[in-house]
Copies of this chain bind each other. A is one copy, B any other.
Amino acid sequence: MATTQLESHVLSKSCQYALRAVVYIAARATPGHLVGAQEIADGLDIPKHFLSKILQQLTRNHLISSTKGPHGGFFLSEENERVTIDRIVEVMDGPGLFKACVLGMPQCSSDHPCPLHTQAVEYRDGLYNKLKRLNIKELATVVHKENIQL
């Protein structure tokens, strides 16, 4: 067993929270009811202040929208709804995830593959292509139709 139990991941926790929050907003926000950070934090059981930071980051990058003040909160413009999932991952975790070598070797490429290049690339690119073609609205629709828990 591993001496120190690592919390291994593909996506950072911030990114995981971001994705869940965005889907939550897509599901709950209406023109008459914007979704507050508190509501999302409660609904998804995510620390509120940490979530706020994440939502700020998404807002600054125009992936979601917000307004301040009473009855303010977060919502998705029509443009936001067309934002693809890979963009959220990119903003939260940086552009490296689907490009960097699994073994961290900078010169790794199809010309100069690392030992696991063949094994890993298919996996990575397959997921990436799916996320690149899936936008927020579509994902939210699937979640709703399949009655998926957030």
Q: Assembly of this chain: how many copies?
A: 2
Report how many residues on chain A are interfacial, defined by Cβ distance under 8 Å.
56
> Residues 128-150 of chain A: 1 if any B CB is under 8 Å from the residue's CB, otherwise 0?
00110010000100110010111
Max chain B Cβ within 10 angstroms of own Cβ: one of A107, A113, A116: A116
Q: Is the CB of A104 within 8 A of B16?
A: yes
- Pick the contact of A2: B93, B130, B149 (CB < 8 A): B93
Could you tell me which A residues sit within 8 Å of B by CB distance? 1-3, 5-14, 16, 19-20, 23, 57, 60-61, 85, 90-94, 96-97, 100, 102-105, 107, 112-116, 119-120, 122-124, 126-127, 130-131, 134, 139, 142-143, 146, 148-150
